[in-house]
Amino acid sequence: MATSSEDSTVKIWDTGNGKNVATLRGGNGHVMIGVDICGGLAVGCGSDKTCRVWNTRTERLIHQLAGHVHKITCVRLYNNEKAVLTGSADRSLRVWDINRRTYRQTLTLRHSSTTNCIDVPPGSITAASGHLDGGVRFWDLRTSERVEDIVDLHIGGVTSVHFNPKKSTEILTSGRDSVIKLVDIRTCREVQSFKHVDYRVDLNYSSSALSPDGQYVVAGSGSTGDIFLWSTVNGKLERRLKNHNGVGVVGVSWGRGGSNGQQVSSVDKDGCLVLWS
């Protein structure tokens, strides 16, 4: 897995033993805000208005994508790691072809609000973006056409979007209003909402995640640092994992690691990465 940090680096971790296997450096003094890793590539974007693409095996910088006029807030690899999607505070998303020795920007998707988060499901040409104005927008990555717009979904802004791995017609959203929502894309209606009196979102990039089987939602509180696990079937809280150091969590992910094929990772405000299984 990969993490990005205010120390201008992207770090690659072996989830089997918890060791840092690579440190990829960005621009000195510039925060690395977003990160993604897939196949043999890692991408990191930040406050220097560029997105870097590295080969994770050689740790060599392959591309430095330049074109945004403000900080890049989020990034995703897609199309079998042949393309990159970036979102920026300049109120645009950009599509980059990295399948050649020299990268090429192919599309610019323009909108009216800063992008906090993006997601592209595997094998899809539709992207979702979450915005500071509380809305979620859906885009055709072939034509740059906006195909759907869900307005005012969250109060204070959308902080993460995550397509359901088992049901591409559903998307999970997290907001600054400290509410997580599972939304049906076809009807633009809420299927379930998840919240707790001790669950708090206090950053524009705080994330929640769906389990690989789509049965559960996980998120970490920005106040207590506790990990909350809800059922997507009935919206009930299934488990609360206590974070004994009490430091707020800024992001989570859920993959197929661990001894039981289910592994959650969380990162807190002190820069500590924790693996839960």
The owner of tokens 């890049």 is 72
pLDDT of residue 263: 87
Nearest to 1 by CA among 273, 232, 249, 269: 273
What separation, in Å, do the N-terminal and C-terminal C-alpha atoms of the chain show?
A: 15
How far is CA 230 from its chain centroid? 19
- Domains in the chain, start-ordered, CATH in brackets? 2-207 (2.130.10.10)
Whole-model pTM: value is 0.95
Residue 133 has pLDDT above 90, yes or no: yes
pLDDT of residue 148: 95
Phi-psi region of 125 (alpha: psi -120 to 50; beta: other; left: phi over 0): alpha
Q: What average pLDDT does the structure give for the chain?
A: 95
Q: Which helix (H) or strand (E) element contains residue 29?
A: none
Residue 140: count other Cβ atoms within 10 Å of its Cβ: 15
Measure Cα distances from 197 to 24, 42, 177 in Å.
38, 36, 12
pLDDT of residue 229: 97
- Tell me: the pLDDT tens digits for 194-231? 999 999 999 999 999 999 999 999 999 999 999 999 99
> Given CA atoms 146, 117, 41, 124 in this order, what sign does their dihedral have?
negative
At 134, the amino acid letter reads: G
- Tell me: the pLDDT tens digits for 164-188? 999 999 999 999 999 999 999 999 9
For 202, the token pair is 């206090």
pLDDT of residue 262: 75
pLDDT > 90: percent of the chain: 90
- Tell me: the pLDDT tens digits for 236-249? 999 999 987 889 99
CA–CA separation, 253 and 240 (whole Å): 16
Q: Binning pLDDT at 50, 70 and 90, where does residue 260 land?
A: low
